[in-house]
Amino acid sequence: MRLSRLYAAGALCIASSLIFFLTAVVKLPVALYFPLSRRWSLTPIPGELSMDFYGRSLLALGGGFAAAALTLAAFRVQALWRARASSPPDDSSDSALPQSPGRGLALLTGYTLTALLLAAGVYAYELYGRTPVPEPLPAALQGAPAFPPGFPPPGADPAKDPP
């Protein structure tokens, strides 16, 4: 595997972790999914159940892939620039890079793990001790019986309590 691809994978992991972390800390507009009405929106609708996980994930992955593409482009430009400066042409795009990744790849791995732990830690901190507040039922369901006629509630004995 080329060294530039390893650095691009590290940039993808770091950028996606940090963007996922930032969307939790800073209120950025993310796509919201409304599972009851099966639609997407960028603005929350009061009183309707919405999920932001998919929007956060898409935003984080998009930013991560953009960072990986920029990293690959930077390595390509650097290799082309060094190839023009040197007299013998080389067909490898990683010719300007050392053959052993050494310290740089170890640092990148450390940064990647730090970004992943930071994102996981902030979510654990936000979710710990949180008491979920239930949304009120829609108006159509407020007066509806809990169980349809003819179906006994759980724990009821149909032989003793006929419908």
Q: Is residue 25 part of a domain?
A: yes
Q: Number of structural domains, the chain? A: 1
Q: Is residue 148 part of a domain?
A: no
25-44 per-position pLDDT tens digit: 788 888 999 988 889 998 88
What range does the domain containing 43 cover? 3-129
**Helix ranges (DSSP H) in the chain:** 3-25, 53-85, 102-127, 139-142
52-64 per-position pLDDT tens digit: 889 999 999 999 9
Residue 160: Cβ within 10 Å count: 7
Q: Residue 65 — pLDDT band, cuts 50, 70, 90?
A: very high
Nearest alpha carbon to residue 10 among 92, 94, 113: 113
Q: Is residue 138 part of a domain?
A: no
pLDDT at 153 over 60: yes
